[in-house]
Amino acid sequence: MTACAVVLLAGCATEAKVENPFFTEYTTPFQVPPFDQIKIEHYKPAYLKGMEEQVAEINAIINNPEAPNFENTIAALDQSGKLLSKVAIVFSGLNSANTTPEMQALSQEMSPLLSKHSDDINLNPKLFARVKEVYENQESMNLTKEQKKLLDETYNDFVRSGANLDAEKQEKLRELNGKISMLQLKFGQNMLAETNAFQLVIDNEKDLAGLPDNIIANAAQDAKAAGMEGKWLFTLQNPSIMPFLQYAENRELREKIFKGYINRGNNNNENDNKQVVKDLITARMEKAQLMGFNNYAEMALETRMAKTPEAVYNLMDQICVPALKQANVELADIQKEIKKDGKNFTAEGWDWSFYTSRAKKAKFNLDETQVRPYLQLENVRNGMFTFANNLYGVTFTAIENIPLPHPDAEAFECKDADGTHLGVLYLDYFPRASKRGGAWCGTYRSQTYKDGKRVAPVVTIVCNFTKPSPGQPALLSADEAETMFHEFGHALHNLFKDVHYYGISGVPRDFVELPSQVNEHWVFQPEMLKLYAKHYQTGEIIPAELVEKMDKSGKYGQGFVTVEYLAASLLDMDFHVLNEIPADMDVMAFEAETLGKRGLLKQIPSRYRTTYFNHTMGGGYTAGYYSYIWAEVLDADAFKAFTEDGELFNKEMAAKFRKYILTPGGIDDAMDMYVNFRGKEPGIDALLENRGLK
Ligand SMILES: [Zn+2]
């Protein structure tokens, strides 16, 4: 007992000298967060102090004896809560990319406090009264376009946050907000636990038949790391399960891992998400109805480019018919391959990838393994930088000796054509248990202004690419290369941003994928491939014949891809257009019914099923998963604009795209921004052509 106390005291004494990094200005290169100094114990005090400071700032606004005006109310509110944002942006970034049980526990602990804190601001009647006064007297204030937009957004945000509700309803709203944020958090944590829990352990070499050598080597390495040397371990991480489904000849094992994947969160254990989903969609619906809408989708869509659920369903209906037709053609090809294989079963979900890949090979004589050697990670990365340089004149230079969000990440400085510093970009490529799945782009500091000067952003791209075996280079699949260019588009959107106020820095959810998806169009253009797709051993540029095969086969499989995506988008919408939720609702039965009634194929499950659909259940893309295809209408049309003159690196269009889309945040209505760039509204034809659905 005594010994412990002494140790503890000594510990306290030394730690007291280390200042909380969030409480001082970062003194690191480019003032990136000092990741190496930030410890778990720094977050909570910073969160608490951050909230306290913002409360004081809000009180100062309310108690200002001067009449409310733009500067003392709207701008002051926009600038409040700096410390809180500073800690939250680092915590949430790391909680996704490199979480720990302690961080997860802390996010659970902070969630209700943060939810209450933002409600205290959004439902503060004195604050709203001042905002309203400015809003109603804006004509006399001579505001800039940016200021006017911030004022409108601020006022509308208050209204949408319940400022106009009576006290009783506001109390109910607070309760629902707290509940929703806890449930979203719980959903994500269950999903991570379920993804990590599944293991397919192979101890008979025969069961590896069909798998490429690098995948086998990785599985051996994963088994060894898990204390099962001599065996092979496959997991539900994409770089492990996806090649397994594509190549493993053992059908039973494909079924096993496939079922493991599609049943995450649906195993009736402590990480089951069914009740979480039901509680969540109920709370969201109640919130929407409290706010005067029929359902959550109506409320969420009000601020989007699409504006109404009808507009979303209308677009999806137009794509669904040709996509299903194409998926049935692919299914027939699959059945042919099964027959060729000397078998006569009907294809199931776990057969799709395996036989599509064979059908593709039979049709185009192209196998993904032929392409990978030309897509070495570093080459793709450098190609991506060259691409940005060719279009926008910007450069990326590696930065040494800078704190990294994880030792596996690397850092680059982005400079404008004239040498101006635009921001820092981190790249973090490979999966680990502490990282959530998928790929994303985030920031560790958003672009802002301080004392009239632009403060550059700190941007991060996080992926889950195939990890190379020790001593081997990382060779990407075509999909992974495309993902990298996609996330890089989000990164450029962040790096180019030049906005004076936080409140108008973002763009609507269904517009945000335009900058990222438009980049995907360049990745496999022959002229682009020449710049980066070099064989990792010989340095030979990817042969024209292989490029032609890639081009032809590129559209193959779009039936499946489009249908699995549409299924998820419909599922997301269908859950959120409900005006009532029956007490005995079974969310999995709802999923089966809602997709079944549209004639979707049983072999193509929704890209994400209900219990692991983090985009919609975790928040972020709620009633918004459709955004990818909504934005695809825009990006397909935009790419047409770029290349109409037959020039792949059209600098004039790039300058316009940067000026009207990538730089000004959410300064205008999204359609107006698009029309400013393009000169007209987009049509759906370019999208259907690109997907080979026309
Ligand atoms: Zn994206």
**257 and 202 share one domain:** yes
CA–centroid distance, 167 to ligand 1, in Å, is 39
> In this structure, is residue 122 part of a structural domain?
yes
Quick one: which of 390, 462, 372, 393 has its CA closest to 425?
462
> In which element (H, E) is residue 414 found?
strand 410-415
Asked whether residue 208 falls in the same domain as residue 128, the answer is: no
Domain-embedded: residue 127: yes
453 within a domain of the structure (yes/no) = no
State the CB neighbour count (10 A cutoff) for residue 522.
Answer: 24
Position 80 in a domain: yes
- Nearest residue to 280 via CA among 567, 622, 625, 624: 622
* DSSP reduced 3-state for 24: coil
Do 134 and 8 sit in the same domain of this protein?
yes
What total number of domains does the chain contain? Answer: 2
Question: Which pLDDT belongs to residue 17?
Answer: 55
Choice among 298, 413, 487, 564 that is catalytic: 487
Query: Which residues of the chain have a pLDDT value below 50?
Result: 1-16
Query: Do 24 and 160 have their domain in common?
Result: yes
Q: Give the domain range for residue 238.
A: 198-262
- At 64 the pLDDT is 98
Distance between Cα 262 and ligand 1 center (Å) = 23
CATH of the domain at 49: 1.10.1370.40
CA-closest candidate to residue 521, choices 638, 600, 659: 638
Structural element, H or E, at residue 106: helix 101-122
> Measured on CA atoms in the order 545, 548, 552, 553, is the torsion positive or negative?
positive
- 487 is annotated as an active-site residue: yes
Q: Are residues 128 and 250 in the same domain?
A: no
Enumerate the H helices of 263-367 as residue ranges.
274-290, 296-301, 309-340, 349-364
Q: According to the model, what pLDDT value does residue 335 have? A: 96
Same domain, 160 and 19: yes
In a domain, 113, yes or no: yes
Taking alpha carbons only, the member of 580, 628, 609 closest to residue 277 is: 609
Do residues 159 and 205 share a domain?
no
**Cα(311) to centroid of ligand 1, in Å?**
21
Instruction: Mark whether 203 and 153 lie in a shared domain.
Output: no
347 Cα–ligand 1 center, Å? 31
| Residues 462/428, Cβ–Cβ less than 8 Å | yes
240 domain-assigned = yes
Final residue of a structural domain among 242, 262, 282: 262
Cα-to-centroid distance, 340 and ligand 1 (Å): 39
Residue 513 CA to ligand 1 centre (angstroms): 5
Return the H-helix or E-strand segment holding 155.
helix 145-160
| Domain final residue, candidates 164, 184, 210 | 164
Centroid of ligand 1 to alpha carbon of 517 (angstroms) = 7
126 plus 53 within the same structural domain: yes
Q: Are residues 243 and 135 in the same domain?
A: no
Residue 27 lies in a domain: yes
Do residues 392 and 425 lie in contact, with contact meaning Cβ atoms separated by under 8 Å?
no
Q: How far is the CA of 491 from the centre of ligand 1 (A)?
A: 10
Is residue 235 in some structural domain? yes
- Ligand 1 centroid vs 463 CA: distance in angstroms? 12
Point out the domain boundary residue: 216, 247, 262. 262
Looking at the structure, do residues 69 and 205 belong to the same domain, yes or no? Answer: no
Same domain, 23 and 157: yes
